Chain A
């Protein structure tokens, strides 16, 4: 599916933020992934036209970064950390628990497209090890039981918006820092819930 005008306008707005077009490549790949759940070939063609580089160059960049997915992900991307602080706080049992529940191996997605599972490197939640991200929203201080409950809850409730604070309150434990500001922002897709537009009101000084 090629891009609709609205999306192309949004893309052009992002491109305007940068002194050189190609810098917008990363944000545009996120747009593509938000649309399809992965970086489709159509999107690659579209982006190469927008940015003015070849399709191979787009693909080359997309394949370098682990957050750009080449295959469609499930509604909830479960990223379980396995780096040092989590490793020594028994992240392996959390990994096993999530794997058992979902029946997925690393980088696999279930048939219903509900879950994608991946083991990831440090997500900067070392004080709350072991930690997991759901659609890049962080939950800290998990146990095998709690992570199982979290997966069950996600499967049952199917929340549209994954909110870090909500998950943390329901399933989390020890946190990296406990003076917390509560908010209801979150992510609906397997891309970071983040608006690309609106930073530079006045461009081209």
Chain B
């Protein structure tokens, strides 16, 4: 099993200066853009993206070409790059922003050309100060070289790009919350419908919202054709994908592979096995929102559909491995605390539910749990996500609330002993 380097090739080959425009240009950088501008046929670009069958890399896995097709006609249309990567376990966009910002910017320009957009925003989470600086510098260089601004490379096409920094709210990764945040409002997800920002987005104008990794793939697809891209990976999960591997592995990191291999092979090959030769107790296949798989389920294939069929999601491509010694109650509590902290507070089931789940888990983790706590946990989870199904049913505007349910159902379905063992059979009498 080998990596297939499309997006991370350049940064591997030029570890010292992959972020500079000179290095990028020397290595076929901005050539896809020149080709697109020369041929001057936006429809072709959209068709290449459709042919590539690329699905969004932010988490939902929506087909990018279809999304672009939804973009409504309007004088003002916008592109917003979602760089609010905050899903625990995920750090793939961080390297794309920090190490190869021009790849993203070229993708942005091509996307805007294809969809006749004149203004783009790159929204980067506030904590990514260094990556944001790199992107900012790269944007400046691109202006100086005439890749951005008025009449790009002597054509009639003009584009402005603004780098915008978030301020520490995970929820702004939800696309409508991100748009509110960009409008200078609280980062609260919008009520749906309208379902698609492509119809009604930023300032209620048609807006494309795409993930950093998705748009970083655009130059390669345009340069090599959508058909070539679709040959990589497997049907339904074409192309390469950058997986962030963390947890109890010997060699954590970002690895770009074609989708379709098994998680076990991935963890062994790239993670170089588990620390101290331990075994895997459980692992998270796609970020903290995703239900866990057990150590017996390592042969599941890393594709969007295989993971979904097995009852979880590939999400943001963050694989977190937990070894045999991990206290899964603490692990679940950490994830639930995350969602309790990040709940925007609009919907009662999420705002109240996640807080109560956190407090009950805290009680159990500190050894003061009650046997009735387990049914209480289930009851609260059921109020947030009725039936505890996957994919989750929702009583909330966005999927943040149901995401807090995932670790608890994972725990109770497969590792219920762990939680009951932490509950004392005799309740200590405190004075």
Contact = CB atoms under 8 A, between A and B. Distances in A.
B164 interface: yes
A35 B287 CA distance: 37
12 contacts: A24-B184, A60-B186, A64-B187, A66-B167, A83-B338, A84-B335, A85-B320, A121-B88, A121-B170, A127-B254, A181-B98, A202-B149
Q: Main secondary structure on chain A at its contact with chain B?
A: loop
Interface stretch (B136-144, B260-268, B298-306, B419-427): B136-144
Contact of A88 (B11, B149, B326, B344): B326
Interface in A52-93: 53, 60-61, 64-68, 79, 82-85, 87-89
Given A83-B334, A176-B254, A185-B130, 14 more contacts: A22-B184, A23-B184, A66-B167, A83-B89, A84-B284, A84-B335, A85-B246, A121-B337, A124-B128, A126-B247, A176-B246, A200-B161, A200-B162, A205-B118
Given A66-B167, A87-B331, A192 B254 contact: no
Contacts of A164: 130
Interface centre among A22, A53, A83, by most chain B C-beta atoms within 10 angstroms, is A83
B342 A121 contact: yes
Given A65-B169, A126-B318, A23 B183 contact: yes
A177 B254 contact: yes
A89 B164 CA distance: 32
Interface residues on B, range: 35 or more
B288 A18 contact: no
A129 B246 contact: yes
Interface of B: 11-12, 15-19, 76, 85-91, 93-95, 98-99, 118-119, 125-130, 132-133, 136, 139-140, 143, 149-150, 158, 160-170, 181-187, 203, 244-248, 252-254, 284, 288, 318, 320, 322, 326, 330-331, 334-335, 337-338, 341-342, 344
B165 A193 contact: no
Given A27-B164, A137-B129, A178 B253 contact: yes
B338 A174 contact: no
A84 B184 contact: no
Contacts of B245: 127
A89 B250 CA distance: 12
A38 interface: no
